[in-house]
Structure 1
Amino acid sequence: MNPDWFTFLTHRNAHIEQKRVLHFGQPAAELAQAASGSVLIDLSHLGLIRFSGEDAQNFLQGQLSCDVRSIDSTQASHGGYCTPKGRLLGSFLMWQDVSDNSYLMQLPVEQVETMARRLKMFVLRAKVSIQDNTDDFIRMGIAGKNALALLQGTLPDTAISPVPLAVTSILDGQVICHSENRFEIITTSTQAPLLWERLNKHTHRAGAAVWDWLEIREGIPAIFNATQEHFIPQMVNLDIIGGVSFKKGCYPGQEIVARTQYLGKIKRRMYLAHLDIDSSQDIAAGDSLFGTDTGDQACGMIAHAAPAPAGGVDVLAVIQTSSVEAGPIHWKTLSGPQLAILPLPYSIT
């Protein structure tokens, strides 16, 4: 986390551990506001990798699952980075920095070092620079039914696009529309305090878990260290949200990803679900799931989890479709708490 920004947030009662804002003193109230009001969230728990140089686009096009040529300073894209066997090493959001046309990849901060190191292995003679820019930009999220109006009021001379994954340029930064009621501001450490204070007049500060919950409810996958190489892109619905191009050329794992799409039924998908348990229970990415049709053999895995405003925990879980159809799915053991499957904002059929 940027040192100056860390100081700024701690002076505003932020409780921070390992570059992550846990809360601002009232975690339950902050989560409740996510469901009924407008929230302002620091996003330092997300890392940022910059790809620059004249060969950056061609290099990334040959490494990632998304169509990098469709990404520019006005349009972001979800995407994935796979092993040659088609297993995801990471998933991300990518856009171009309007200031120099370099590419910015946003993903969980715990993955930045390993992802950057692996991608550097394949640069060879290409004119590409790969850098950890996590602390070079301040990123904050604003969400709620009034999010767009609040942004427009704070940035009156800029027309913020409300189209999902649209990127709007602002003074010393950019705004990304994640969804109709959720936006992200990317800016400098100089501009960030002023924007934060203006937005905070009409919003409630909230911890990183609130952003996690919003991502989960929108069905946006995240790959963590615990789930690396467990899923192909279709298992986490990357193909549905535009994170896989089936018209571009080769990239690591492309043959397997394409064969799965065209020749075989996708046997596992990512589902949104709720667990009616105490949110203090240690539910985490990588936890196994069990169904009545598979007995003591796991039928799925937790991909992401966060406390829900009304209690319990909401999760994204990759599960065998046949197991979901067959009956109840349980956490950790066949006799463990049962998942209540919820509708995603998009169709997986």
Structure 2
Amino acid sequence: MTAWTDHLAHRGATLGDDARSASFADATTEARSADGTIAVPLLHLGTLRAVGPDSAEFLHNLVSNDVKKLPADGAEWNSFNSPKGRMIASFLLWSEPEGHAFALSADILPAFLKKLSMYVLRSKVKLSDARADTALIGLAGPDAAAAALGAGALLPEADMKQTVTDAGLRCIRLSPTRYLLAAPIATAGAAFDAACAAGATAAGTTAWQLDMIRAGLPLITAATQEEFVAQMLNYELIGGVNFHKGCYPGQEIVARTQYLGKLKKRTYRVALPAGTEAGPGTDLYAPDFGEQSAGKLVNVAPTADGGFEALAVLQCSSAEAGEVRVGAPDGPRLSLLDLPYALA
């Protein structure tokens, strides 16, 4: 255990396998806490770091967003895709003084680091797993800004902007009610405790996942790698794709999807009834596709009523028809919920 996870355990957190999740209460209580202001140890995410003079150019040539124009105080949603345009990793990328860092799903981090390292060649950049020295904390809810201030952070003035203190506490504003803190391992516990003392409720992984689902912000995990083109995940709608930059793996497919024909699949926010056994990668079915899969679940989190909310990539025609089943053509029926942004 690290000093960070040891601190969480002493606070009463139950840590999951490989310390990639945490919970402070039962699923219903965790879900209910997401209606207020929460502080969450983001153990399901991990940080990679790129250091060196070629960091911007190296990453820019590989990912879906514009890294060269990312300002020193900026952050952006981004992705790495296969040559066929299918997303291998989604992540939040931010600038650092000596390069860049990005937060992605911890279950794909080691393999993704290995894959990304294959592209380094003669570039003056060093890639590393930063989980041993950087802890991620999520703050969400109506008083998230006050919790961030309480933790000792400086508040960014706009969305997708960041600040960093002299003590190395980085604060990224995802929205006015959502912040991500990247803290040195040695001081992460104190920052977490201070955020809670400032009014946030200590909450577990599923509470943050539920909040991200409600925000319409998808996360690629091992179960969904190479399943979706960026637009299927609404990635261009949340600012994760730049259509004016140069080539990168999968760029031709992503561009073709944008400019030729009508997009057939989108990400929808959905509700699943209590008792549904489904996770990321579970197939969805609809009458207009018969026995053929009409989509897949991307992220799933329990709700306070015993059911689940999820982000689901689904055929637009099936979503419009309104009858979609989980796991089998006769499986539990899901219902569509609103997203905080319009589907173009």
Q: TM-score range by the shorter chain?
A: over 0.9
Which residue matches 1:93?
92
Instruction: Summarize deviations over 1:233-257 as a string: whole Å, max 9, x none.
Output: 0110111111110000000111111
Measured after TM superposition, the shift of residue 276 of structure 1 is 1.5
1:107 and 1:210, CA in 2 relative to 1: closer, same or farther beyond 3 A?
Answer: same
Which residue matches 1:192?
188
Distance 1:263 1:341 in 2: 27
The code of the aligned residue for 2:49 comes to R
* Structure 1 counterpart SS, 2:289: coil
Which residue matches 1:80?
79
| Structure-1-length-normalised TM-score | 0.94
Distance 1:128 1:154 in 2: 32
Distance 1:25 1:235 in 2: 34
Which residue matches 1:300?
295
Which residue matches 1:337?
332
Percent identity of the aligned residues? 35
Let me know the Cα RMSD of the aligned residues.
1.5
Is contact 2:4–2:186 with CA below 8 Å preserved after alignment? no
Measured after TM superposition, the shift of residue 25 of structure 1 is 3.5
Distance 1:260 1:118 in 2: 25
Structure 2 residues without counterparts, runs of 5 or longer: none
Which residue matches 1:119?
116
| Structure-2-length-normalised TM-score | 0.95
Which residue matches 2:164?
169
Which residue matches 1:238?
235
Instruction: Summarize deviations over 1:14-68 as a string: whole Å, max 9, x none.
Output: 1001223331244422321211x22111012201111111111111111000111
Distance 1:21 1:63 in 2: 29
Which residue matches 1:227?
224
Measured after TM superposition, the shift of residue 284 of structure 1 is 0.8
Aligned with residue 311 of structure 1, among 306, 311, 315: 306
Q: How many residues align?
A: 341
Is contact 1:292–1:327 with CA below 8 Å preserved after alignment? no
Instruction: Summarize deviations over 1:120-171 as a string: whole Å, max 9, x none.
Output: 111111111111112211211111111112323443xx65125321212223
Is contact 1:331–1:338 with CA below 8 Å preserved after alignment? yes
1:255 and 1:196, CA in 2 relative to 1: closer, same or farther beyond 3 A?
Answer: same
Is contact 2:150–2:194 with CA below 8 Å preserved after alignment? no
The code of the aligned residue for 1:329 comes to V
Which residue matches 1:321?
316
1:20-99 to 2 correspondence within 5 Å? 20-35=20-35, 37-97=36-96
Aligned with residue 207 of structure 1, among 204, 207, 216: 204
Distance 2:313 2:242 in 1: 21
Distance 1:327 1:153 in 2: 45
